[in-house]
Amino acid sequence: MKLVFATHNEHKLKEVQQLLPDHISLLSLNDIKCFEEIPETGQTLAENAKIKADFVTQTYGLDCFSDDTGLLVDTLDGQPGVYSARYAGGQKNADDNMAKLLTELQHEPNRSARFKTVVHLNLNGESHTFEGTVEGMITEKKHGENGFGYDPIFQPEGFDKTFGELSAEIKNTISHRARAIAKLVAFLKKVAP
């Protein structure tokens, strides 16, 4: 089975490829010669995931899934949320985003947060949505070089290390994206074993 994953993000593509069974051949936006940035104009993670998947299905006629992920910080009323990738501006720089968040939480005792991923799948003319979350907290400074995005400042519940310090193998069993993709994979196994 061939599926397009609507992303240009090589880190995300690699992470998801490791989670999918071998019989699913994953194509990126680059593989289908879609080099444009699909606008994420939704007000929620679910809306953005749907916009990206629908764009690929309608434009290229291909089965596709996409995701949108947000970091939701309790004391900031769920921000940066849908704006996580561009929290510090349109340049989408992870270091700038982390610096802004750490500054905003500088004197804040409540550092609880969660990552949430919503996956939208268009397959055989039908749409399906899958969600995954992981609870944790924002550390006071960056730790580790692994992962991407906010990983060096997010410490998942039950661990004493950030996603930036944990191995890909561990992260891929507990992360928000891993949980959402696991639901996607379970669904795909039922419809196309």
Known catalytic residues?
68
Closest among 102, 112, 108, 111 to 141, alpha carbons compared = 102
CA dist list (Å): 168 to 107, 124, 147, 162, 178: 31, 32, 7, 12, 11
- In whole angstroms, what is the distance from residue 18 CA to residue 111 CA? 30
Token readout for 149 is 């995005």
Dihedral, CA atoms, 131, 139, 87, 133, nearest 10 degrees?
Answer: 0
